[in-house]
Amino acid sequence: MPTLTWNRHEWDHRYGWAGRGDEWSAPWGGPEAQWQRCVYPRIARFLPTGTILEIAPGFGRWTQFLLGQCESYVGVDLAERCVATCTERFAGQDHAQFFVNDGLSVPMVADSTVDFAFSFDSLVHCEQDVVGAYLRELRRVLAPTGVAFLHHSNLGVYRRTTALVDAVGRALSPFSARARNGVQLWNYWRGQSVTADRFVELCAAADLTCVSQEVINWVGRGPLLLDCISVVTQPGSRWDQPLIRTTNRRFSAAARSSAAAAQLFLAR
Ligand SMILES: C[S@@+](CC[C@H](N)C(=O)[O-])C[C@H]1O[C@@H](n2cnc3c(N)ncnc32)[C@H](O)[C@@H]1O
């Protein structure tokens, strides 16, 4: 179960960051290809905009593209190392600010000031307490017409598989910690308590409206619907609509055609 303590330790100390996180885009042909073919088409209708809040930018894999889409940008990450790197990497961008946060809240952001909140490939590693806390903060900081695009876990739908794999991992641990870790990596450390349904309940509890959900698989994990991308808005905003949910088991297949196209482009 990826707790706040696990996330802080993982991203501040254990993970090497040798590739700045760009390595996670390799199946798509690199960060630019993934941005153009996977991320940007899903958020194009919300951009360009005034103020963007990015939750958990890491080393700035998506920040580099978001910065050109806004008048002001705030990035918050619980890992000091990530904030230090982004501060240095984007030093020339006067409209950008980066803050270390507590992993739950954004006190540095004023009420009703965020036009677009974004988080991709980060909140998947968080449990419902963290997701719920951020949703309550988004209720406070989103502008009346604001909208949030949040990539989170759906692992909770595989509760039985998770319990079984955890039991196998525990059984292996006296013999090999490496084997145990390998087994437990099957879900890429997704939050176990979060599902698409639970996310909608958390939105309602925060008095936000979840207007769309794309339940997706993830590269390397076959047809398992480990993740979900949700769009959230203030009730009554121009983005408000009854929830539309789609299941996209071809999400990760798109990576292959993206990588093939990127390769052709790079070869020119
Ligand atoms: C897998 S990295 C992804 C970073 C970036 N979004 C990307 O796609 O390259 C996960 C990031 O989430 C951050 N993170 C994890 N839990 C967080 C939380 N509760 N609040 C803020 N940042 C968090 C980590 O510090 C790390 O930078």
Q: Indicate the DSSP class of residue 13.
A: I
Are 78 and 148 members of one domain? yes
Residue nearest to atom 17 of ligand 1 (CA): 103
3-state secondary structure 198-232: HHHHHHHHCCCEEEEEEEECCCCCCCCCCEEEEEE
Give the range of the structural domain holding residue 167, as residue numbers without chain letter. 155-188
Judge if 174 and 53 occupy the same domain.
no
Which of these three, 188, 204, 232, is where a domain ends? 188
Average pLDDT of adjacent 10-residue blocks, the chain of 268 residues: 93 96 96 96 98 98 98 98 98 98 98 98 98 98 98 94 79 73 76 97 98 95 92 97 96 90 68
Per-residue pLDDT, 76:
99
Distance of CA 7 from the midpoint of ligand 1 (Å)? 8
Residues 53 and 112 sit within 8 Å (Cβ to Cβ)? no
Number of domains in the chain: 2
Nearest CA to ligand 1 atom 1: 122
Q: Are residues 132 and 160 in the same domain?
A: no
Do 113 and 32 fall within a single domain? yes
Q: How far is the CA of 124 from the centre of ligand 1 (A)?
A: 9
The answer, yes or no, to whether the previous bond of 48 is cis (omega within 30 of 0) is: yes
Instruction: Tell me how many degrees the CA angle 105-196-56 measures, rounded to the nearest 5.
Output: 30
Statement to judge: residues 207 and 179 lie in one domain: no
Residue 232 and residue 138 in contact, taking contact as beta carbons nearer than 8 Å: yes
Distance of CA 210 to the CA centre of its chain: 16
DSSP code at position 197: H
For residues 28 and 161, state if they share a domain: no
137 and 49 share a domain? yes
Q: Who's near 187: CB < 8 A, 6+ residues apart?
A: 155, 158, 162, 165, 221, 226
